[in-house]
Amino acid sequence: MHYVSTRGQAPALDFEATMLAGLARDGGLYVPERIPEMAPAEIAALAGAPYEEAALRVIAPFTGEAFGEAALSDMIERAYAGFRHEARAPLKQLAPNHFLLELFHGPTLAFKDFAMQLIGQLFQAALARRGERICIVGATSGDTGSAAIEAFRGLDNVDVFILFPEGRVSEVQRRQMTTPQEANVHALAIEGDFDAAQARVKDMFNDHAFRDAVGLAAVNSINWARVLAQTVYYVTAAASLGAPHRPVSFTVPTGNFGDVFAGYVAKRMGLPIDKLVVATNQNDILHRCLTTGRYEVEGVVPSISPSMDIQVSSNFERALFDVYDRDGAAVAQLMEEQKARGGFALSQGALARLREVFASGRASEEETRATIARTLEATGELLCPHSAVGVHVAEAARARDVPMVTLATAHPAKFPDAVEAATGVRPALPPSMANLYERPERATTVPDDLAAIQDLIRERLRR
Ligand SMILES: *Cc1c(COP(=O)(O)O)cnc(C)c1O
């Protein structure tokens, strides 16, 4: 299996090299040369199967020769062993034909653990075989950072630097990043928003001298392995609800388009997904783009669903690559326009093709709070604000005859202030995290300045 860049100018790589590279050297994102298909009988066989078995069936065709099947299976077992729910990604019913896919039973209470726990295993195997070490630099709107730190803390051959927007993550999110005491973990509070943090990370990848000198590796959803790990729960959820014989729709709370793109991959593999509904908060660039055909970056407005406070949605590039018939030059030109002028217009054909698969909606702050309150009253389920954005949008988007699955992307206890303000109920952290508020914190504030951040990384890096 080979992977090609969405901008058409970087060499094709195998799975392991793609995973270690993160961003392609032409600034693009890696995608598989072709998407392996699952036969209807293979999908049907996964109904009722353990999550780990489904993961092996979905992931193995993409990894090619990188790992033997037994080794891959062991890594998948280890990745999900620490989850607090036997089903890993349980489905709960909210209303007739509306289901919630709970993705917050991993160690840091957000869906990011599904990919990061597996990537931790895959990276370790690849590095051990190559005798190499890497320096992970990631940007986070809140949840990727803690999930990455949890997956890589204490490893000898990995240093982890996480840039988070200062003052714009919840206290639980911040403490999950600042309380690990291992010497290989560095939480950096950048004086800027998430888009600034993500842009500096991309700058570091595009500085090839720096990239090679420190052995840079990416764990943001620009890393293909993350998207791949996330396709699994679309398959398990759909199989539980009757796929391949019955179509299913999904509503996905979205920021960087990574999670919903994983759903798109599942659809391309043959899963009968009717609609993928993109749910945004007031930072609604993706909803506006799917509505008007114009992708226009505006300033980020902080919200009660901070993990989606994003305007430059990096994985959208992967979808564009497909709807522009895999024309890397056309995608590169759109991305140039975005960088130079803050936006671009989609061709009519590209927009029509996106709309065949994706629908969209947005939730205001008020609608988000009202959805948390209403859902608690109607079902007893306490939603985090991101999941509430999803439920609000799903209620408007769903059709009576197709089951709708809304992804619950984080545990409510990660955002206790917003949940309490909406319901009067303060959600408690799981027992394993109960002393989070007492642990000492450690973080470094950095300016939104590439050279300053690079200097700090060079200084802190263990050789
Ligand atoms: C990361 C995150 C999202 C957005 O996911 P993308 O892959 O960036 O679209 C939504 N909700 C929560 C809780 C998250 O952590």
Condensed to tens digits (0 to 9), the pLDDT of residues 217-226 reads: 988 888 999 9
The answer to whether residues 76 and 52 touch, using CB atoms and an 8 Å cutoff, is yes
Please name which of 202, 257, 122, 133 lies closest in space to residue 453, comparing C-alpha atoms.
202
Q: For the chain, how are helix, strand and coil distributed in percent, rounded to 5?
A: 50, 15, 35
Nearest CA to ligand 1 atom 15: 143
Kindly list the protein residues whose Cβ atom lies closer than 6 A to any atom of ligand 1.
110, 112, 143, 221, 253-259, 307-308, 386, 409-410
Q: Looking at residues 66-94, what average pLDDT do you find?
A: 97
Question: Looking at the predicted structure, is the pLDDT value of residue 363 above 90?
Answer: yes
Least reliable range by pLDDT among 146-150, 201-205, 219-223: 219-223
Atom 2, ligand 1: residue with shortest CA distance: 307
pLDDT confidence band for 76 (50 / 70 / 90) = very high
Index of the ligand 1 atom closest to the CA of residue 256? 8
Average per-residue pLDDT for the chain: 96
Q: Which of 266-270, 309-313, 340-344, 350-354 has the lowest mean pLDDT?
A: 309-313
| pLDDT at residue 142 greater than cutoff 90 | no
Distance 210 CA to ligand 1 centre (A): 29
Atom 8 of ligand 1: nearest residue by CA position: 256
% of the chain with per-residue pLDDT over 90: 94
Q: Which atom of ligand 1 is nearest to the CA of 142?
A: 15
The Å distance, Cα 260 to ligand 1 centre, comes to 9
The band of 13, judged by pLDDT with boundaries at 50, 70 and 90, is: very high
Phi then psi for 429, rounded to 5 degrees? -70, 150
Confidence tier at 263 by pLDDT (50, 70, 90): very high
**What per-residue confidence (pLDDT) applies to 224?**
96
Look up 267 and say whether it is catalytic.
Answer: no
Question: What distance in Å separates the CA atoms of residue 280 and residue 287, rounded to the nearest whole number?
Answer: 7
Q: Among 322, 317, 342, 350, which Cα is nearest to 332's?
A: 317
Of all residues in the chain, the percent with pLDDT exceeding 70 is 100
Predicted local distance difference test score (pLDDT) of residue 312: 87
191: left (phi over 0), alpha (psi -120 to 50) or beta: beta
Whole-number pLDDT of residue 141: 87
Output the pLDDT for position 463: 76
Rounded average pLDDT over 315-328? 98
Between the two ends of the chain, the Cα-to-Cα distance in Å is 33
- Which residue has a Cα nearest atom 14 of ligand 1? 307
Span 10-18, average pLDDT: 96
In the chain, what are the domains? 87-105+224-423 (3.40.50.1100)
CA angle, 261 then 263 then 264, to 5°: 60
